[in-house]
Amino acid sequence: MMKFPKNFQIGASMSAMQTEGKGITNIGELAFDQYFKESPELFHNNIGPDITCDITRHYKEDIKMFNQIGLDSVRTGFSWARLFPDGVNIDKDAVDFYHDYINEYRNNNIKIIMTLFHFDMPLWAHKKGGWSSREVIESFIKYCEFIFNEYGDDVDYYVTFNEPLVPVYEGYLNDKHYPAIDDPKQAVQQAYGIFLAHSKAILAFRNFNLKAPIGVVFNWNYTYAFSNSKEDIEAAKVYDAYVNRGPLDIMYNGTINELWYKTLSDYSILPDYTKEEIKIIKKTKVDFLGINYYFPCRVKAKSNGKKRWIMDEFVIEIPKNAKINPHRGWEIYPEALYEIGMELKEKYDNIPWYIAENGMGVENEERFRDVEGMINDDYRIEFLKDHMSQIKKAVDDGSNCFGYHIWAALDCWSFRNAFKNRYGLIEVNLEDQTRKFKKSAYWYKKLIESKEG
């Protein structure tokens, strides 16, 4: 059993929308509610976001189970639409629920990391243009300021956005998120709005002089050239600037990538912005980074034929000899975690960081249930060993990594995938909402208990 330092946080992640469902308090409609109403057939087994894990009714039981595993910390989040169902007025029941929820973690000696936005765009905000709307951004900042004032240092860590560009790539260049359109111009404007909202939230946070740090959780799909050809190497460089280092730099310390400006100008799709907004973005500096990592991207210089922007000139291709998670079609490549750790050490001032999500989603886990009723998820244990060993190597080599969170603490609803692929240490029975530890939960418990000191 590998041994991490005593103060290294071994925990788990989830999100508000993927666990709460409609819940016990009033909640405003989300963009995903609208997507499900319009196209329920697109959601696995026609399971929408109404119930998910029903955690607002089960949180005391769930957090007790987290404590039994020994989790040092858990990341979840606030729901903007629950606290402000109509976008304007505060719901007192929701305020009280989050106080009780956060206190339950504290009562169980679990640090709590709370995310302000995790794919859960209120429908009213989407109708106003989403992150392209300055009105929506200002409403988001008012929501953030309410949280900073109301919950203060009861929260151990704050996170502005989880995987900030995923709703952009999946909703404005794909059909996985609402509004399911494919328009680079709109995608660029949405991305710019997220960067501005993130920066404004950071600046607002500083006014409250809290002890808690604030950061962002970024999905780093570590990028490699598909081959050693000059074309693929250049393609990987540009792709990486758009998907990884460019967004990470702007949300880390407000550094704007020059390649973005040039290539967006070349295709006449620069976002609408003001000089004052750029000044705000350049003031950004986070206290820590959360990194989500599931798979690498191997980039090939090959046009998709659309010719709308520079990203149409590349494709992602998985090598034929790669190890694959067949349930997601994702490459399994733990070695990238060490490279991420070294990059953060050498190019990001060795900023405090942690793995905020990393996990193994498997379909039909019922196949692995033993005679005693427990799911023997040895594949997940193998995945954890392989990936956490790379984190341990990075820590041993001086990377300032303070923790690792598996996705997920318990089986979570996952947008159009619903519960198709299960990720949890804890199984959720959708028939009666009962919970049960998987084999991986016991392995994780031993890992936590084996820490040094």
Q: What is the pLDDT of residue 240?
A: 97
Percent of the chain with pLDDT over 90: 99
Mean per-residue pLDDT for 220-247? 97
Residue 38 annotated to the active site: no
Q: What are 137's two structure tokens?
A: 């951004």
Mean per-residue pLDDT for 215-223? 97
Instruction: Say whether pLDDT at 436 is over 90.
Output: yes
Backbone angles phi, psi at 407, to 5 degrees: -100, 110
Q: DSSP labels for 142-153?
A: HHHHHHHHHHGG
Q: What is the pLDDT of residue 453?
A: 74
Q: Are the beta carbons of 118 and 15 closer than 8 angstroms? A: yes
Count of Cβ atoms closer than 10 Å to residue 249 Cβ? 17
Q: Are the beta carbons of 199 and 284 closer than 8 angstroms? A: yes
Q: Which of 104, 163, 313, 427 is catalytic?
A: 163
Percent of the chain with pLDDT over 70: 100
Q: Which of 170, 357, 365, 427 is catalytic?
A: 357
- What are the beta bridge partners of residue 369? 375
Report helix, strand or coil for 401.
strand
| Residue-range domain boundaries for the chain | 9-222+327-450
Give the Cα separation of 366 and 429 in Å (integer). Answer: 11
Q: Which residues of 48-76 are buried (b: 16+ CB within 10 A; e: fewer)?
A: bbeebbbbbebbeebbebbeebbbbbbbb
Mean per-residue pLDDT for 219-246? 97
Q: What is the pLDDT of residue 95?
A: 99
State which fold the 9-222+327-450 domain adopts. TIM Barrel (3.20.20)
Q: What is the pLDDT of residue 1?
A: 86
Residue 317 annotated to the active site: no
Give the Cα separation of 450 and 73 in Å (integer). Answer: 16
Per-residue model confidence as pLDDT tens digits over 386-424: 999 999 999 999 999 999 999 999 999 999 999 999 999
Per-residue model confidence as pLDDT tens digits over 6-34: 999 999 999 999 999 999 999 999 999 99
Give the Cα separation of 107 and 104 in Å (integer). Answer: 5
Per-residue model confidence as pLDDT tens digits over 369-385: 999 999 999 999 999 99
Instruction: Say whether pLDDT at 114 is over 90.
Output: yes
Q: What is the pLDDT of residue 51?
A: 97
Q: Are the beta carbons of 75 and 163 closer than 8 angstroms? A: no
The C-alpha angle with vertex 120 and arms to 268 and 420, in degrees rounded to 5, equals 105
For the chain, the helix, strand and coil percentages under 3-state DSSP, each to the nearest 5: 45, 20, 35
Mean pLDDT, all residues of the chain = 97
Nearest CA to 219 out of 249, 248, 190, 192 is that of 248
Q: What is the pLDDT of residue 243?
A: 97
